Amino acid sequence: MIAPLMKTVERLHSTVLSLFLFLFLIGCGNKEQPQQDHPRLSGRVAMTDVTFRSAALGREMPYRIVIPTSIAAGQKLPVIYLLHGGGGGYRDWTNYSDVAKYAEPGMILVMPEGNSSYYTNSAEHPEDRYEDYILNDVISEVESKYPVAAGRQNRAIVGVSMGGFGAVKIAMKRPELFAFAGGLSAAVDVPTRPFSIKRLSQWRFHSSIFGPSGSQTRYDNDPYALAGTVDPSRMPYLFLTCGEQEGLLPANRKLAAILGDRGFKYEFHTAPGDHNWLQWNAQLPGVFKSLREHIEPAK
């Protein structure tokens, strides 16, 4: 009786060990690997990664900058700030799109790290002042180190997804700083998304940034509310696009309708595609064509 029982225990022990080993290996395989950097550059631009101290965040922050390789002595160039999406990073624009080539004719492209901040001063974490970081620290840092032409007419801001939300929201709140703002698949509805038990963790995360539903911080960072109250004549030119297979299409159509009703200078485009870099990269020729029409050329 003892011998069969011992054999059963041994088999069970062996099975448990095998299960733990299997789970361990699966866990190792699922660990997030360091993202490879594979910038898509042309021969007529130079790329640099820079780290600087942000006063708003109280810590070191990186950004990527792309500039033409040939700049005449004393020449000043317009600057375009490119904001990445949620879950991404400051390398995304050059790794997943052909944006670098648009620096060739005489533009400076700046890609700051935004983490998953929605480029907003956090309601719950006062140390995470990401809107102040972009508007004060990043712009000041770039203009102090590079041949940037000063003034609103030489400055634009463009973003994808979370970054599109940030670009549109920041440009509406600080229109004196930008002549052009672009949102590609901009997540403009985030501050007004209702509670959802299916997306409980997302709802909690958004609440930590924007505050509780109905709060003043939600209202102050809501693109719909901003579009309905700001003076359209003072706003930068707005360029919006969204893929026709995206869940964000109704949200972007809603914002475009408000812009149209209130007389903003803007354009809104839809095209086949989903929420990804393949679709966003295809929109860049139109974005930069419009951008060049609304900012001053290199001097």
How large is the average pLDDT for residues 14-24? 40
Q: How far is CA 165 from CA 78, 82, 184, 255, in A?
A: 22, 12, 9, 11
pLDDT, position 35: 61
Question: Strand 180-184's sheet: what is its strand order?
Answer: 45-54, 59-68, 108-112, 79-83, 155-160, 180-184, 237-243, 266-271
Query: What is this structure's pTM?
Result: 0.88
Backbone angles phi, psi at 9, to 5 degrees: -65, -40
Structure tokens at 135: 């508007």
Q: What percent of the chain has pLDDT over 70?
A: 88
pLDDT, position 36: 84
pLDDT, position 11: 52
Q: b/e string for 200-216 if b means 16 or more Cβ within 10 A?
A: eeebeebbebbbeeeee
Q: What percent of the chain has pLDDT over 90?
A: 82
pLDDT, position 132: 98
pLDDT in tens, 163-219: 999 999 999 999 999 999 999 999 999 999 987 777 888 889 999 999 999 999 999
Neighbours of 268 (CB within 10 A): 17
On the CB side of 294, CA atoms within 13 Å amount to 24
Q: N- to C-terminal Cα distance for the chain?
A: 94
pLDDT, position 9: 38
The fold of the 45-294 domain, in CATH, is Rossmann fold (3.40.50)
Domain ranges of the chain: 45-294
pLDDT in tens, 96-119: 999 999 999 999 999 999 999 999
How far is it, in rounded angstroms, from Cα 119 to Cα 135?
10
